[in-house]
Amino acid sequence: MIVIMKKGVKMDDVEHIRNTILSRYNIEVISRYGKIILRILDSVNEGFILKKLNNTYIVDKIIKNEAPYFLVTREFKSQDTFISIGDIVIGGKAPTVIAGPCAVEAHDQIKTIAYFLRNHGIRLLRGGAYKPRTSTYSFQGLEITGLKILRNIANELGMYVVTEAVDTDSFGYVEKYADIIQIGARNMQNFSLLKRAGRAKKPIILKRGFMSTIDEFLSAAEYIVFHGNPNVILCERGIRTYERLTRFTLDISAIPVLKELTHLPICVDPSHAAGKRSLVIPLARAAIAAGADGIMVEVHNDPDMALSDGKQSLTFEMFETLISQLYSGVSSYREKKIWTFMQPSFS
């Protein structure tokens, strides 16, 4: 049983309930998004508790059957959650673009791509330093060297780093160098990693496992929030279906479904869903039209030579097309969210 206190309730009042009505039970007290929650860990005499608690003036809501997730739901918090990274807000009025190569390959590669992106108003630079590759023979990433490259170049250009943590051992390094920590699709149900992400002081972008349901996706997000980190961005990146002409199938329905269920911001990665660069622009447009708070795309200065995911990486020219289409189209797609984040050119 979960007891959600009214907003603004003081700890003294919570302690009073704990020491009187709930004195017989083991209770866990947590506080998220400005609300205090009591989890009653034992089985309870429901009728008695409900009657007593409903009569108090400080209880907002009681959830009888413990659901796999509730902190991330709109039932718990109806207003959208905004996540700030420096002066950028994710989940706010303007859709966010996170862009960069699949992997950090070399200093000059990141510098070239980052300059290009920055000149097009992009502030969130992605790139994997630790790569979760399906094959052990594929490029595994530059690890700490890669993190340092991202950090230095992002600092030089006034950008922010989005990069993946693949295990708990290296999590601390990623946390030190990143501004947003990515948990990849293959790790969506790596519960020790999710718990570690919950203790992180930086926002997390959690990608949907390609064989996971939306319920499992939200349960994974709940782990992170429950363990202490309220700043989670969800990322739909395609799921496995019987269709073989795309790498995965972008689940567009997941966007409005998630928007109904959760207050967390949602971004979409059309690159991994498509697996093929010619499909990325229409999928990105569809994602924004369906209500996504942002997109994450792979871009490379020489995609055919990329060490990872070159086939799905946009060329610079294609990225320019994508951006101009999003800038011109987005305000007509979305009544309230107007594309206003275009920054002056970087020189």
Binding interface with ligand PEP (CB under 6 A): 102, 128, 132, 184-186, 207, 237, 269, 272
Residue with tokens 């496995």: 240
Residue 236, token pair as written in the block: 């739909």
Residue with tokens 């030579």: 305
Work out how close the CB of 63 gets to ligand PEP at its nearest, in angstroms, rounded to a whole number: 32
Q: 141 or 265: whose CB is closer to Mn ion? A: 141
Residue 184 interface partner, choices ligand PEP, Mn ion, none, CB cut-off 5-8 Å depending on type: ligand PEP
Q: Based on the shown chain and the rule CB under 5 A, indicate whether residue 102 belongs to the binding site for Mn ion.
A: yes
Residue 91, token pair as written in the block: 């989940």
Q: 128 or 230: whose CB is closer to ligand PEP? A: 128
Distance CA 214, CA 10 (A): 35
Give the type of residue at 127: G
Residue 147, token pair as written in the block: 């993190």
**String marking each residue 57-96 x if it binds Mn ion according to CB under 5 A:** ----------------------------------------
Give me the residue whose beta carbon is nearest to ligand PEP: 184
Q: Do residues 171 and 196 touch, judged by C-beta distance below 8 A?
A: yes
Distance CA 124, CA 296 (A): 9
Q: Based on the shown chain and the rule CB under 5 A, indicate whether residue 309 belongs to the binding site for Mn ion.
A: yes
Residue 100 interface partner, choices ligand PEP, Mn ion, none, CB cut-off 5-8 Å depending on type: none
Beta-carbon contacts of residue 199 (< 8 Å; ≥ 6 apart): 227, 228, 229
Torsion 247-253-256-262 (CA) sign: negative
Q: Do residues 188 and 164 touch, judged by C-beta distance below 8 A?
A: no
Q: Which part of the chain contacts Mn ion (CB under 5 A), choosing from 139-147, 175-183, 253-261, 306-314?
A: 306-314
Task: Please give the DSSP secondary-structure letter assigned to residue 158.
Answer: T
Work out how close the CB of 102 gets to ligand PEP at its nearest, in angstroms, rounded to a whole number: 5
Work out how close the CB of 272 gets to ligand PEP at its nearest, in angstroms, rounded to a whole number: 5
Q: 269 or 293: whose CB is closer to ligand PEP? A: 269
Q: 71 or 159: whose CB is closer to ligand PEP? A: 159
Distance CA 270, CA 289 (A): 13
Residue 178, token pair as written in the block: 């990143």
Work out how close the CB of 237 gets to ligand PEP at its nearest, in angstroms, rounded to a whole number: 4
| Phi, then psi, of 342 in degrees rounded to 5 | -50, 120
Q: 40 or 294: whose CB is closer to ligand PEP? A: 294
Q: 70 or 223: whose CB is closer to ligand PEP? A: 223
Residue 236 interface partner, choices Mn ion, ligand PEP, none, CB cut-off 5-8 Å depending on type: none
Q: Is 239 helix (H, G, I), strand (E, B) or coil?
A: strand
**Residues forming the site for Mn ion (CB under 5 A):** 102, 309
